[in-house]
Chains A and B, each alone.
Chain A
Amino acid sequence: SAVISQKPSRDICQRGTSLTIQCQVDSQVTMMFWYRQQPGQSLTLIATANQGSEATYESGFVIDKFPISRPNLTFSTLTVSNMSPEDSSIYLCSVGTAPLGTEAFFGQGTRLTVV
């Protein structure tokens, strides 16, 4: 298994500002992902964080709004830029263990409220 730490666990932000969320894993992992869980909804994949290259974004998500960094195999950040109230969600970091498909673990999430 993998232990995933996310920071911050929650934040309240003003519209128009940006927030960077950190994800730290206790072991090297190949796959890291960022998901969004809107209020009362299920999880939606934002992007795959690729180590050493640009993230791969899902339809409906763009790099200018959700820039992602992955400087090494244990750490990634997601920035939510130019926030609006519609960005209020839980943002979750996930890792896949090797061989991928065996298990996939999640951090505890970052609860973001934009006012």
Chain B
Amino acid sequence: EDQVTQSPEALRLQEGESSSLNCSYTVSGLRGLFWYRQDPGKGPEFLFTLYSAGEEKEKERLKATLTKKESFLHITAPKPEDSATYLCAVQLSGGTSYGKLTFGQGTILTVHP
């Protein structure tokens, strides 16, 4: 069965304290791995798509990396405005899975000033 697991469930950081969020996956075939940010009461905001092991993408204080089994979202010198739920999702290869996303449970990030 295809599974996506995110850890930790919640993470509290001090402003400026860098850390990483983990997304591990067990899937039959990976087409892409997506990262989203979700603020309370809003829809997920697209951050990155990663396709192959070794790929890295950056956006401001965020950097996403991908291996064959997991992805990391590194947050460098976070600010309070980075506080949100970060969601990881996989898109599977194969015709019947085209376009669909399977989500992990998310990591709730809180950054204290």
Contact residues of A with B, CB < 8 Å?
1, 4, 6, 31, 33, 41-45, 48, 92, 94, 96, 100-109, 111
Contacts and interface: CB of A to CB of B under 8 A. Distances in A.
A105 B106 contact: no
Interface stretch (B14-22, B65-73, B95-103): B95-103
Contacts of A100: 98-99
Contact of B99 (A31, A42, A111): A31
Contacts, number: 58
Nearest to A110: B43
Given A41-B105, A106-B43, A106-B44, 5 more contacts: A43-B44, A48-B100, A100-B99, A102-B49, A105-B46
A92 B43 CA distance: 7
Interface string B76-95: 00000000000101010000
A94 B92 CA distance: 16
Contacts of B32: 101
Interface residues of B, number: 24
Interface of B: 31-32, 34, 36, 41-46, 49, 51, 87, 89, 91, 98-106
A81 to B, nearest CB: 23
Contacts of A33: 99-101
Nearest to B42: A108
Which has the most chain A C-beta neighbours within 10 Å: B31, B43, B105?
Answer: B43
Nearest to A102: B49
Contacts of B100: 33, 45, 48
